[in-house]
């Protein structure tokens, strides 16, 4: 009888441990240093092309890690960069692709009404493999496609760190 109780207790302990392990997840996220490097490289890429922009980097949850604003960038660039970064991180997609998709799909047109979403080019997810760990959003270049190019250049500068 005592052996049966010990075996049952041991089995229950293993089952509880297995259930607990499945309930806890490990997720990658970005450091402040990495976010700062991406924001700085993004603003530098736009500055090189003559665009005064703001770049916002958010973590996987869409929370702001860093915002850099170039000299002479308009005040609106801050909010647009942040909204693009949030939108991209949240959807794990570029804001340009989301904008184009919403224009082609009538049901997708409602995305513009989601709080915090901005469907203009310039938001790009930051990935490690297939896992989105955040996003960078850019506002201020004369076109969303140019904002997106700067964001891609900023991410490219740190690509070796995203492994």
User: In this model, does residue 157 exceed pLDDT 70?
Assistant: yes
Strands (E), the chain: 54-59, 64-69, 123-128, 131-139
Task: Tell me the mean pLDDT in the region 148-162.
Answer: 97
Q: Name the token pair of 119.
A: 């469907």
The SS3 of residue 150 is: helix
Q: Name the token pair of 158.
A: 């740190």
The answer as to whether 68 is a domain residue is: yes
The answer as to whether 97 is a domain residue is: yes
Q: How many domains does the chain have?
A: 1
The answer as to whether 69 is a domain residue is: yes
The answer as to whether 5 is a domain residue is: no
pLDDT bracket for residue 154 (50, 70, 90): very high
Task: Tell me the mean pLDDT in the region 61-68.
Answer: 97
Q: What is the CA angle 46-85-147, rounded to 5?
A: 25
User: In this model, does residue 17 exceed pLDDT 70?
Assistant: no
Domain region containing 67 = 32-161
In whole angstroms, how far apart are CA 33 and each of 28, 65, 81, 156? Answer: 15, 10, 19, 16
Q: Mean pLDDT, the chain, as a whole number?
A: 91
What CATH code is carried by the domain that includes residue 109?
3.30.450.150
Residue 153 and residue 39: Cα distance in Å, rounded? 10
> How much is the CA Rg of the chain, to the nearest whole Å?
21
User: In this model, does residue 28 exceed pLDDT 80?
Assistant: yes
pLDDT bracket for residue 80 (50, 70, 90): very high
């Amino acid at each position: 009888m005592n052996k049966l109780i010990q075996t049952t207790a041991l089995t229950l302990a293993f089952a509880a441990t297995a259930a607990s392990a499945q309930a806890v997840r490990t997720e990658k996220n970005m450091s402040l240093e990495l976010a700062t490097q991406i924001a700085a490289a993004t603003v530098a890429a736009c500055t090189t092309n003559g665009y005064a922009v703001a770049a916002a980097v958010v973590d996987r949850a869409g929370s702001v890690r860093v915002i850099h604003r170039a000299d002479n960038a308009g005040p609106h660039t801050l909010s647009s960069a942040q909204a693009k970064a949030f939108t991209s991180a949240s959807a794990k997609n570029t804001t340009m692709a989301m904008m184009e998709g919403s224009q082609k799909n009538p049901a997708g047109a409602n995305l513009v009404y989601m709080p915090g979403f901005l469907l203009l080019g310039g938001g790009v997810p930051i990935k490690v493999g297939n896992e989105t760990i955040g996003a960078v959003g850019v506002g201020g270049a004369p076109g969303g496609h140019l904002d997106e190019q700067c964001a891609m250049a900023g991410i490219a500068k740190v690509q070796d760190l995203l492994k």
